Amino acid sequence: MSQPRILFIDDEEIVLRSCRRIFAGSGYEIDTALSGEEGLSKALNQDFDLVVTDLKMPGIGGMEVLTRLRKSRPDTTVIIFTGYASVDTAREALKNGAFDYIPKPFTPEEIREVIKNALEVRAGKQKTMLDLMAIVSHELKSPVSALHTTASTLYKGYFGQLSPEQMKILETIIRNCEYLEDIIRSYLDLSKMELDQLDSFKEEIYFVKDVVEEVLALPEIQDNTKKMTVSKNFPQDFRISGDPRLLKILVRNLVSNAIKYGSEGTEVKLGLEKRDGEMVFSVHNLGVGIRPEDGPRLFRKFERLKQQGTEGVKGSGLGLYICKKIVDSHGGKIWFESEPGRWVTFYVSLPLAS
């Protein structure tokens, strides 16, 4: 089970020290920031469950932190520190979306209780939403799959020659089916992983034979509408300890993304090598690439980059977030290298089986 991540923002070092001391050994991952500017930067670029911010600080104050997070990070729960003289302003913060406020000075019991309540509410909301997502996605899966299969059969000419206009209409239907299937699959994957807290079933497997080859056999990869081929540079297979079900989701998302954002008719190149006692898997495609400044946003939940060349490309905004959760659960790392406008390569490193 992943640790809740909490960020405390206050311009008083003694307050931050107190928070670290109070929550030492609590099972929470604690970070701190000595200014609104530093705290807002951390909160926008990292995933925190809770942000607890002082209301009155030089420069960026707690109200601005709250406003910016409600807009850019609506999933983050915000709690306000306030002196007694600012209680009216703290109540205003509640109207603007803060979960609660903690008057200063506070006791350890007071702050623990507010944090506990906030995390419990988050867990309840998340479970309800994920349950709903799973139910709806499951009900949609079969009819969308049937529609996709029928459209693909017509597109391949099994029922007679089609006119260019008919082919164009079927291409649009197939693309939209692929988009819906991507969302359905992502929501089902997300609900399974987050409700189960990613308690993966690990066994010793061969990465290529037990994971990659099965993904590459999928019709959506082999018969993609962009006519992109997949090449493999696997000098050897590697034995790792992992959950083959989750690792197939990882590889499927990375290869599907390479096709989705790649240039039509080009090649997706897969690589596998050993580095420093780890297995490194890579997925390379020619296409729009990724700007360096977009890197911190890439693995966030529901985050979709908007850049030239991706207009009209649809997605759930969950694929890379799910990839990172899977990689983290296996003790690995995921990163990318890119030349914007030309190519991008994603890398995944995983420990080898002992």
Q: Which is higher by pLDDT, 189 or 62? A: 62
CA dihedral 58, 60, 63, 68 (to 10 degrees): -170
The model carries a pTM of 0.57
**Dist. CA 178–CA 295, nearest whole Å:** 26
pLDDT in tens, 149-206: 899 899 888 889 899 999 999 988 988 888 787 777 767 776 666 645 455 567 899 9
**Dist. CA 245–CA 12, nearest whole Å:** 47
Distant-in-sequence, close-in-space partners of 172: CB < 8 Å, separation ≥ 6:
none
Phi, psi for residue 228 in degrees, rounded to 5: -95, 140
Q: What is the mean pLDDT of the chain?
A: 86
**Dist. CA 335–CA 298, nearest whole Å:** 10
Could you tell me whether strands 278-286 and 343-351 are parallel, antiparallel, or unpaired per DSSP bridges?
A: antiparallel
Query: Confidence class of residue 16 from pLDDT cuts 50, 70 and 90?
Result: very high
Q: Which is higher by pLDDT, 141 or 10? A: 10
Three-state SS string over the chain comes to CCCCEEEEECCCHHHHHHHHHHCCCCCCEEEEECCHHHHHHHHHHCCCCEEEEECCCCCCCHHHHHHHHHHHCCCCEEEEEEEHHHHHHHHHHHHCCCCEEEEECCCHHHHHHHHHHHHHHHHHHHHHHHHHHHHHHHHHHHHHHHHHHHHHHHHCCCCCCCCHHHHHHHHHHHHHHHHHHHHHHHHHHHHHHHHCCCCCCCEEEEHHHHHHHHHHCCHHHHCCCCCCEEEEECCCCCEEEECHHHHHHHHHHHHHHHHHCECCCCEEEEEEEEECCEEEEEEEEEECCCCHHHHHHCCCCCCCCCCCCCCCCCCCCCHHHHHHHHHHHCCCEEEEEEECCCEEEEEEEEEECC
Fold of the domain built from segment(s) 200-354 = Heat Shock Protein 90 (3.30.565)
Determine the pLDDT at residue 48. Answer: 93
**Dist. CA 285–CA 269, nearest whole Å:** 7
CATH of 5-106, picked from 3.30.390.30, 3.40.50.800, 3.40.605.10, 3.40.50.2300, is 3.40.50.2300
**Dist. CA 50–CA 127, nearest whole Å:** 17
Distant-in-sequence, close-in-space partners of 64: CB < 8 Å, separation ≥ 6:
36, 40
Domain layout of the chain by residue ranges:
5-106, 123-197, 200-354
pLDDT in tens, 226-259: 889 999 999 999 999 988 888 998 999 999 999 9
Q: What average pLDDT does this structure show over 126-147?
A: 69
| Cβ proximity of 260 and 281 under 8 Å | no
